[in-house]
Amino acid sequence: MFTGIVEELGEVAQLVHRVGAWRLGVKAQRVLEGTEVGSSLALNGVCLTVVERTGTLLAFDVGPDTLKATALADLAPGAPVNLERPLRLGAPLGGHLVLGHVDGVGRVARVAPERDTVRMRIEVPDPDLERYLIPKGSVAVDGVSLTVAGLEAGAFEVMVIPHTLAVTTLGKRAAGDRVNLEMDVIGKYLYRFVARGDP
């Protein structure tokens, strides 16, 4: 379980292609504390398991299903990545509950500066995911907890503040980029209960 509050920007250092899978090496600093082999870490919103740790390098195995279901396949050496350690019991919940289970891949349609902030429009290609978006509701974009600022058919908008632009990959996003989307888990459960007619 995560919060969508990115702790640091890591950097892709190694990318080894295996049969249908990857070995992904990421340079990190802040998230190293308490992170060992077997630990979970959210990387661009995807919950991955650390399989090797050498100095400041963390390695992850990324399987074919994960590559197909997320935007991780777009990574290249030198690319920045959002990193977050799991939520610890008793720690403040600064964002919203994020599982690290990506629901789909969106595409940045527009990045429009508005004073100090940026209005970002993201297309949602899967109509089934739109049902979980509500005005002022929560959504995780590449693992970043954001508030839905606008809704239209097939897309939503978020306002990204200067701090978030500076400390996450969102500050480097441009039109055409693919991003990982995770809808609000509470909304997904509520929709499921209502759709089934559970008492």
pLDDT per residue rounded down to tens, the chain (199 residues): 899 999 999 999 999 988 878 999 999 999 999 999 999 999 999 999 999 999 999 999 999 999 999 999 999 999 999 999 998 877 777 778 889 999 999 999 999 999 899 999 999 989 889 989 999 999 999 999 999 999 999 999 999 999 999 999 999 999 999 999 999 887 777 777 777 765 5
Set out the domains of the chain in order of their start, with CATH numbers: 8-84 (2.40.30.20), 104-196 (2.40.30.20)
Stated pTM of the model? 0.92
3-state SS of the chain?
CECCCCCEEEEEEEEEEECCEEEEEEECCHHHCCCCCCCEEEECCEEEEEEEEECCEEEEEECHHHHHHCCHHHCCCCCEEEEECCCCCCCCCCCCCECCCCCEEEEEEEEEEECCEEEEEEECCCHHHHCCCCCCCEEEECCEEEEEEEEECCEEEEEECHHHHHHCHHHHCCCCCEEEEEECHHHHHHHHHHHHCCC
Q: So what's the pLDDT on residue 190? A: 78
Q: What is the pLDDT of residue 184?
A: 87
